[in-house]
Amino acid sequence: MKHQILSLIQKKNSELAKNIDEQYLKCVEDIEKEIKGLSENGNTLANVLTEIASNVEEIDLTVDEEGNSIAEEANKKLEQSLKEYVSQAPDKGGIQTQLREIQNHLTEIKNGWVNANNQNNKKLEEQLTDTLASYLEELKSQVPMLVATEQPDGSYQVTFQQTGTEVPPSVTFSIVDVPGAQNNPKQDLLKEISSAIAQAEQLTEKIQIPVEIAESTPGAGDNYTINVEYDIPMSVASLSEEQLRELIKKKENSWYVIKDSIMED
């Protein structure tokens, strides 16, 4: 009789272990779909940033900081200098003075060009940085994290944090210790789960988003593409199927009883 009961329990335990594998496999498949969606969102971001770069106020190198036309101001000053030069040609000292003024005007033109260029480039950089930071913050909020909590009846629930309105997938389990076992399988399993979750939260992964910078002026040919790299925390969703299955692992000295399982698409 004792042998029959033990055989029945072992058979039931085997069926439950198989059920765990099937449920976790489905969970991994759902995670892969979610990661694919996040990847597609990354491609959408690249298009958005490209559009922003192309629509940013065109860098106008023809005006100074106050919006005055550099070419027009230079022409006026040069014309005035030449008139004064002609009227004062016999005076060598006056000629030298006019030449110095012309040199000063050229310096003003150069400084105005540099300032206008720097101001517009800084504006472009700030817009791209703000947009990228906003996207990355949204991306982090969409990546689920796995947590384990103890229930009032002594069982433990492993679940993904809810990131939207849908109910996250979860598995509730309890552990039956084998009488006379030297180790405490309940404590060992909880250590494994805690270790796996801690490792997942400590790891980081890099994502790269290509951003196309448009030409400074039409036909300039100075457009280029940069890859913006960012480190984000690696969630349990980034772990492999094998590592996920190791979160609840069957040991020789314990039986794991799955009380209920909720899997949502």
DSSP, res 244: H
Give the bridge partners for 149, in sequence order: 157
Helix, strand, coil shares of the chain, percent, nearest 5, are 55, 20, 25
Distances (CA, A) of 194 to 18, 26, 190, 228: 23, 22, 6, 33
| Element at 50 (helix H, strand E) | helix 2-55
DSSP, res 38: H
Inform me whether the pLDDT recorded for 240 exceeds 50: no
pLDDT in tens, 113-164: 667 666 766 766 676 667 666 766 665 565 556 666 777 776 666 666 655 5
Give the contacts of 233 (CB within 8 A, at least 6 positions apart). 140, 143, 201, 203, 204
pLDDT in tens, 186-222: 566 666 665 655 555 555 667 676 766 767 667 777 7
Find the domain containing 44 and state its range.
Answer: 2-262
What pTM was computed for the model? Answer: 0.24
Q: Domain total for the chain?
A: 1
- Report the pLDDT value the prediction gives residue 38, as an integer from 0 to 100: 54
